[in-house]
Amino acid sequence: MSDAERLVVALGPLGLDDGGEVLLSWRLRTVAAGAQVEVISGRPELAQQGRPWCRALGHGFVEARAHGFVLCKGPAHAARWLGAERAGAVDAHAQGAVVAHPPAHWALAPRGALVEAGTQPLHFALSDRELVWSDDAATLYAQGAAAQWDPATAIPWHERPALAPEIEDAVVQVMTFLIENETAALLVPARFVAQLHPHFREVMQLLALQVADEARHIEVFTRRAALVRGSLGTTSAGGQASLRTLVEEPDFAIAALLLAVLGEGSFLSLLWFLDEHGPDPITRTVARLAARDEARHVAFGLAHLQRHLQHDPALLPRLAAAIHRRHDALAHSAGLNADVFDALVVLAAGSLDPDAIARGHAAVVALAADMDRGRQRRLARLGFGADEAAALSALHTRNFM
Amino acid sequence: MSQSRKTLLLGAVAYDPKVVTIWEGFRDFFAAHELDFDVVLFTNYERQVLAHLDGAVDVAWNSPLAWLQFEAAAARRGRAAAAIAMRDSDRDLSSYIVVREGGGVGSLAELRGKTIAVGASDSPQATMIPLQLLREQGLQPGRDVEVRRFDVLVGKHGDHIGGERDAARALMAGEVAAACMIDGNHLLFAREGVLPAGSTKVLAQTPPYDHCNFSVFAELQDDPRLRRFVELLLGMSYADAAVRPLMDLEGLKQWLPGRISGYAQLERACAATSALAPLLALAEGLP
């Protein structure tokens, strides 16, 4: 090959130890294996660097020259990418972008990346598109990301409440209950996100955002609970037993039903209730902001269950059975912590005056009815008939979540 | 080769934990190609050479010094040794004697009376071959030039590069006037920041020499298992995803036929220092 036919790569002042190797590798991509390339630079030791560099990368070292060296491009780079495969496509709307069963050897590859053959498989238990995917995930994630609020500034912490002792007690008790429930609501998506194939990027992001949402809720509920008293209320064995069945649920679809559709759905009613009856601006604000996030969690739970049910109608009776199973498991537990029920009544009453308590009691009964209606509505959206939805809703834990 | 043994046994020195990964991987590759193959790991090359002489392994993945040890000891028993394969990266290596840029040393002669850092005492590339270059240029190590050794993991024949890196550090710290290293490590140490780019220059370089090889007794080369072993090695492709990670770990793109034309400098170094004597004495004691 004559000098005139060779590509010449000029590295300027660089050697192969301070960035010139990057430039050279880049330029070598443009020539075929077997092509000769002359490399020149202002570094006198370039040829001394070129020989071991070529050897390490599988290029032939042809000869040293006054200002560099000549190499013959080896086949290793092309060989490495032989058999590589594209892991779907980055845009979820593109044809074939989100595959039904992403293989384990795509491992942590971003969706749409070119994956080298021979990548060690990484096994994710949740790798079935019909089980986990929702076309709404990207939109819900974007909404969620845009709706993030800063606990330091979004809450009027400066409006320190000065409530009657029994009202402050009630706030502390309800906040304690909320923290406990949100802890369960954090752990459930956290467990599943670790089992989810990263190919389902938008779902992974959405679940991660849910975890972050719950972390923020736990922060603001804790801060409000401890704001005046510096200590928290009670947590009951029955309430914990109810939450335990959520945290221990291994099935993604059933967990979505129990947590998102039924639990967080009921919680929405509770948070709206607190927004209405909260005795101070801080309590009302934390409830309102949390409700906004929870509505998104419920929407995702509903969306991917609806998709799952379209592909697998047999899931519906499994979901019903799961509600029965959880009811049976909790049949011998006390359900809602009595302190929580009392606190809600006092909050809605605004005082311990008997007439007020009567109004508060009626408000909590109405809250339970509102929760029931919400559950029935969401169960119907999943495909349950009205009667079955009513029956299943009635089996929901008395602990709300 | 033991005729009573069905399995082809290879000896390799575990100079790094990755050696286990490499050879377990290659063992799977050979098994997939129906070659009954297994590996015996040794903690040092001398133990491996002695075991090979004793017939405990059929083929040994030898450093260049271990190759000369094996060849010499086999010759004493009236047997010839052969190198049947090697990596593409085992051919035409060079060692550099490196000084600080602007450090005032402009030629080998100017090293007289100064200190030169080398790697492990049994490292062909970082000690034996460059010191032989000095001898052949009229500088007797220990007399004309003081030698400071960085003996990391003796018995591994310099496969562990810790000694070379320590020598390079001593150069940059100004503790020595020059340091010896293989050409590829000169680049590597620059990338690691041990030898910042432009801070050193190559004072001298050795002529090209060869590194590791698969060594066998010559009369066994035509054994069908060894022939199959070589055939599978030479057929191994970097495009094969199953073996590419192993080839990356072992530092090659392609296996090549063995050759023994690249060991003359090391042979002269061994002759000048009687480096083969201890192993030969041990081999005499073998039954």
CA distance B252 to B254: 6
Kindly report the nearest CA distance between residue A79 and chain B, in angstroms.
4
> Residue A399: inside a domain, yes or no?
no
**Residue whose tokens read 């090659």:** B252
Domain spans of chain B, in order of start:
8-90+211-284, 95-205
- In sequence order, the 6+-apart residues with CB closer than 8 A to the CB of B94 are A51, A52, B182, B183, B205, B206, B207, B208, B209
Statement to judge: residues A363 and A309 lie in one domain: yes
Residue B125 has pLDDT above 60, yes or no: yes
Query: So what's the pLDDT on residue A2?
Result: 67
Q: Are residues A33 and A163 in the same domain?
A: no
How far is Cα B16 from Cα B213, in angstroms, rounded to an integer? 18
Q: Is B256 on the interface with A (CB under 8 A)?
A: no
Task: Give yes or no for a contact between B230 and B30, defined as CB atoms under 8 angstroms apart.
Answer: no
Whether the per-residue pLDDT at B287 is higher than 70: the answer is no
Query: In this complex, which of B96, B201, B239 lies closest to A79 when CB atoms are compared?
Result: B239
A15 closest CB neighbour out of B94, B197, B239: B197
B248 touches chain A (CB under 8 A): no
Distance CA A142, CA B92 (A): 58
The predicted pLDDT at position B206 comes to 97
Question: Which pLDDT belongs to residue B198?
Answer: 86
Residues A15 and A137 in one domain: no
Which pairing describes strands A68-72 and A60-65: parallel, antiparallel, or unpaired?
Answer: antiparallel
Same domain, A108 and A163: no
Tell me which of 3.30.70.2860, 3.30.450.260, 3.40.50.11140, 3.40.190.10 is the CATH number of domain B8-90+211-284: 3.40.190.10
State the Cα–Cα distance between residues A17 and B189, nearest whole angstrom: 9
Give the domain B95-205 fold: D-Maltodextrin-Binding Protein; domain 2 (3.40.190)
Whole-number Å distance between alpha carbons of A33 and A72: 8
Interface contact B92-A51, CB threshold 8 A: yes
Q: End of a domain among A57, A78, A99?
A: A78
Q: Does A22 touch chain B (CB under 8 A)?
A: no
Angle between helices A201-229 and A137-146 (to 10 degrees): 40
Minimum distance, in Å, between the CA of residue B164 and any CA atom of chain A: 16
**Residue B205 and residue B183 in contact, taking contact as beta carbons nearer than 8 Å:** yes
Domain identity same for A136 and A23 = no
Distance CA A27, CA A40 (A): 13
Same fold for the pair B8-90+211-284 and B95-205? yes
Q: Per residue in B194-233, pLDDT tens?
A: 999 889 999 999 999 999 999 999 999 999 999 999 999 9
C-alpha to C-alpha distances, B136 to A168, B109, B141, B262, B266, nearest whole angstrom = 93, 12, 11, 17, 12
| Percent composition of chain A: helix, strand, coil (DSSP 3-state, to 5) | 60, 5, 35
- Of the candidates A15, A51, A58, which has its C-beta nearest B94's C-beta? A51
Residue A329 confidence (pLDDT): 87
Domain range holding A251? 129-394
CA distance A396 to B100: 78
Same domain, yes or no, for A301 and A190? yes
CATH at residue A299: 1.10.620.20
CA distance A251 to chain B (A): 35
pLDDT at B3: 57
Chain B residues with CB inside 8 Å of A15's CB?
190, 197-198
Is residue B42 within a helix (H) or strand (E), and if so which, with residue range?
A: strand B37-42
Q: Which residues pair with A55 in a beta bridge?
A: none
Q: What is the C-alpha to C-alpha distance for residues B24 and B20, in angstroms, rounded to an integer?
A: 6
Last residue of a domain, one of A66, A93, A122: A122
Interface test with A, best of B94, B253, B255 (most A CBs within 10 A): B253
Helix, strand or coil, per DSSP, at residue B194: coil
CA atoms within 13 A on the CB side of A337: 23
Contact B238/A45, CB-based, under 8 Å? no
- Residue A35 falls inside a structural domain: yes
What separation in angstroms does the CA of A349 have from each of A169, A340, B232, B273? 13, 14, 85, 99
A152 & A18 share domain: no
How many contacts does A have with B, using Cβ atoms within 8 A?
Answer: 72
Q: Does residue A153 share a domain with residue A92?
A: no
**Quick one: pLDDT at residue A337?**
84
> Looking at beta carbons, which residues of chain A come within 8 Å of B253?
57-58, 74-76, 79
A162/A37 Cα distance (integer angstroms): 81
Position A370 in a domain: yes
Alpha carbons A204 and A189: distance in angstroms, whole number:
9
Q: Is the domain of A87 the same as that of A157?
A: no
- The whole-angstrom separation of Cα B26 and Cα B239 is 15
Token pair recorded at residue A109: 């590859």
State the pLDDT confidence band at B174, using cuts at 50, 70 and 90: very high
- CA distances from residue A172 to A361, A380, B32, B161 in whole angstroms, order as listed: 19, 35, 67, 64
Residue A27 buriedness (CB in 10 A; 0-12 / 13-18 / 19+): middle
Kindly determine whether residue A52 and residue B237, on different chains, have CB atoms separated by under 8 Å: no
A78, A98, A113 - which closes a domain: A78
A294 and A307 share one domain: yes
DSSP string, A66-101: TTEEEEE--SHHHHHTTT-EE-S-SSTTSTTSS-SS
Chain B positions touching A76 (Cβ under 8 A) are 238, 253
- CB proximity under 8 Å: B 224-243 to A: 237-239, 241-242
In a domain, A400, yes or no: no
Question: At what angle are helices A338-349 and A165-193 packed, to 10 degrees?
Answer: 120
| Residue A226 maps to a domain | yes
Residue A3 is predicted with a pLDDT of 67
Question: Considering its fold, how many domains does chain A have in total?
Answer: 3
Going residue by residue through chain A (401 aa), what tens digit of pLDDT does each one get? 666 678 999 999 999 999 999 999 999 999 999 999 999 999 999 999 999 999 999 999 999 999 999 999 999 999 999 999 999 999 999 999 999 999 999 999 999 999 999 988 999 999 999 999 998 899 999 999 999 999 999 999 999 999 999 999 999 999 999 999 999 999 999 999 999 999 999 999 999 999 999 999 999 999 999 999 999 999 999 889 999 999 999 999 999 999 999 999 999 999 999 999 999 999 999 999 999 999 999 999 999 899 999 999 999 999 999 999 999 988 887 778 889 999 999 999 999 999 999 999 999 999 999 999 999 999 999 999 999 999 999 998 888 87
Return the CATH number at A8. Answer: 3.30.110.40
Task: Please indicate, yes or no, if residue A269 is contained in any of the structural domains.
Answer: yes
Give yes or no: residues A254 and A320 share one domain.
yes
Q: Are residues A278 and A197 in the same domain?
A: yes
Residue A67 is predicted with a pLDDT of 94
Which residues in chain A touch residue B89, judged by CB atoms under 8 angstroms apart?
55-56
Dist CA B92 CA A364 (whole Å): 86
